[in-house]
Amino acid sequence: MAYVITDICVACGTCLPVCPVEAISEGEIYHIDPDTCIECGSCAEVCPSGAIEPGA
């Protein structure tokens, strides 16, 4: 299951450069495209607010 960004995202941008497939898009809170995400977890590892978690 693809990773998801929860509503505690502070849109800091830390996750953008670590995604190897560019599945993350900017916005008020960021969004991960579930069709592009390869479930590597790189984004979750660097998120300072803990807003990224595996999808359900």
What CATH number is given to the structural domain containing 37?
A: 3.30.70.20
Per residue in 15-49, pLDDT tens? 999 999 999 999 889 999 999 999 999 999 999 99
Residue matched to tokens 């008020």: 28
Give the pLDDT confidence score for residue 1 in this predicted structure.
86
Domain that holds residue 8: 1-56
Q: Answer whether residue 56 shows pLDDT above 90.
A: no
Phi, psi (rounded to 5 degrees) for 49? -100, 0
Q: How many domains, the chain?
A: 1
Structure tokens at 42: 């790189």
Q: Are 38 and 28 in contact, with CB atoms under 8 Å apart?
A: no
